[in-house]
Structure 1
Amino acid sequence: MIKEEENIEKESKAKSKSPIIEIKDLHKTFGQDNHVLKGVNLTVNKGEDLVILGRSGSGKSVTIKCIVGLIEPDKGEIKVFDQNVLHLPKNELNEVRVKIGFLFQSGALYDSMSVRENLVFTLRKHKRELSSEEVETEVLEALDNVGLSDAIDKMPSELSGGMRKRIGLARTLILKPEIILYDEPTTGLDTITSREISELILDIKHKRKTTSIIITHDMACAKLTADRIMVLKEGVIQAEGTYEELEKSEDEWVRSFFE
């Protein structure tokens, strides 16, 4: 009996460490000679928060946009849930996309819609079978998850930058994604609000058991949220490790992020 329990525990640990995202030899060039990605390789394990660091233009955002098909790479392989998303038929790709939440830098809310309407629009687009009562329940739950239930009838123009990010995150969460891709989640926010967003990312991970890639310049955000960090330089992964490991890197360029 004890041996059976040990085997179950080992299997559970193995599954938790199995890659949910695998990227191999990813290349992307814009125009004639703007080679942004030059062979990116990375894996993200189930339940892990991976932070990607890099200077502006190093290809961080391009990498995650390739994952959801917003940008088509020139070469490489992207596996999500063990499926090569670059070769999936459109209907199967859409099924994968619904399981992936994407938080844009701006929050990307529809300015002409109230907070409620923004969330309802997203939900109705993907889950048409829900009743009006079920939709309302989902909207309230998503807003409660980001601590903004009282903003339900506000317009985006009435919200602060931090509130817009939270509502954008609520709109992402409403589809209950297994993976969340965060593109500069704390950019343009003050120190206190940035920490609140970083803590919210952690809270969502623990509550929802999500897997995430977080693109950031914010080292406080990276330190708080990262299980592992990868550093992109000139289109390839230059270094990989925990915050503490990279902070002590022998590579002066890598160490410069942590100073």
Structure 2
Amino acid sequence: MIKEKENTEPAAEADKKAVIIEIKDLHKTFGKDNHVLKGVNFTVNKGEDLVVLGRSGSGKSVTIKCIVGLITPDKGEINVFDQNVLDLNKNELNEMRSRIGFLFQSGALYDSMSVRENLAFTLRKHKRDLNADEIEKEVLEALESVGLSEAIDKMPSELSGGMRKRIGLARTLILKPEIILYDEPTTGLDTITSREISELILDIKHTRKTTAIIITHDMACAKLTADRIIVLKEGKIQAEGTYEELEKSEDEWVRSFFE
């Protein structure tokens, strides 16, 4: 396994405190013998964008759904913000989730609501103390951050695939999350739009100081956004390193992602 470059600076001890997500020995089986996760271990540091690669069915999406409590693992430990997710009650879990943004593949917009209503609904659900003017201000700021303020009165059916992704991201950003989980953010998009979304992910990291896990099959997205990459194979981590390190891996299977 390729490991991240060793930090020999005195700040190494401080870096340990910067871990914001820690996964230990994560296992998940569906049914009797569909063993999706078989002992996954990794950490994500504050401010880091970690890309997760792997073939379909390797456990990528299951892993991030476990992180936010959408799926309960059979075994393991998930520490987020120094809390074990598996020990949280419903209210504590909802409080933690309010600090985490989740961008689904589809964007997950409500088709019966306009763009304004989609974003406002999210705010009303999580920030009940805001008045109408404050909600409108937050909606406009979120849309401006993804370059789509002019789409505020459009319905989802009027949006292109790239616009839906951006609106979905604006709805995620409106709660000002500290962590964002991106599930295939560029799937189904053309090359130019995919790059625009990848650049937006990078911009969000720098302007909002977020931490992210990015699941993707798009190697251009991985190259542009990743501080570090882990590669899942059959429910286990096969390799870990920077894009440049993994591109030169001696493991032919790992290298195949980069060809």
Specify if TM > 0.5: yes
- Report the counterpart of residue 70 of structure 2 in structure 1: 70
> Which residue number corresponds to residue 88 of structure 2?
88
Q: 1:119 touches 1:171 (CA, 8 Å); kept in 2?
A: yes
Q: Give the Å deviation of 1:15.
A: 5.2
Q: Is the 8 A contact 1:17 1:46 kept in 2?
A: no
1:125-204 matches, within 5 Å, as 125-204=125-204
Normalising to structure 2: TM-score of the pair?
A: 0.94
Query: Which residue of structure 2 aligns with residue 30 of structure 1?
Result: 30
Residue 5 of structure 2 corresponds to none
Counterpart code for 1:90: K
| Residue 225, structure 1, aligned to residue 225, structure 2 | yes
Provide the residue aligned with 1:5 in structure 2. none
**CA–CA distance in structure 1, aligned partners of residues 240 and 57 of structure 2:** 19
Cα 1:12/1:91, change in 2 over 3 Å: farther
SS in structure 2 opposite 1:217?
coil
**Residue 90 (structure 1) shift:** 1.1
Query: Which amino acid counterpart does residue 217 of structure 1 have in structure 2?
Result: H
Structure 1 letter corresponding to 2:251: D
Kindly report structure 1 stretches of 4+ aligned residues shifted beyond 6 Å: 10-13
2:205 alignment partner in structure 1: 205
Provide the C-alpha distance between the structure 2 equivalents of 1:158 and 1:15, rounded to a whole number of angstroms. Answer: 46
Give the deviation of 1:12 after TM superposition.
11
Matches within 5 A, 1:54-69: 54-69=54-69
SS of residue paired to 2:23: strand
The root-mean-square deviation of aligned C-alpha atoms, in Å, is 1.3
Deviations 1:55-76 (A, max 9, x none): 0000000000000111111110
Q: Shift of the alpha carbon at 1:14?
A: 2.4
Q: How far 1:13 sits from its partner (Å)?
A: 9.0
The residue aligned with 1:251 is 251
- Specify the SS of the correspondent of 2:229: strand
Tell me the residue number matched to 1:4.
none
- Percent identity reads 87
Matching residue of 1:7: none
Distance 2:101 2:38 in 1: 26
Letter in 1 for 2:57: G
How far, CA to CA, are the matches of 2:219 and 2:17 in structure 1? 25
Residue 34 of structure 2 aligns with an amino acid whose one-letter code is N
Amino acid at match of 2:242: T
**Alpha-carbon distance in structure 2 between the residues aligned to 1:257 and 1:220:** 11
2:15, 2:46 → 1: CA distance? 8
Aligned equivalents of 1:78, 1:151: Cα separation in 2: 38
1:92 Cα offset (Å): 1.0
Matches within 5 A, 1:14-29: 14=14, 18-29=18-29
Task: Please tell me whether the aligned partners of residues 16 and 46 of structure 1 are also in contact (alpha carbons under 8 angstroms).
Answer: no
User: 1:227 Cα shift?
Assistant: 0.1
* Unmatched 5+ stretches in structure 2: 1-9
Residue 50 of structure 2: aligned partner: 50
- Cα offset for 1:114? 0.2
Aligned residues: 250
Question: 1:164-214 CA deviation, whole Å, 9 max, x = no partner?
Answer: 000000000000000000000000000000000000000000000000000
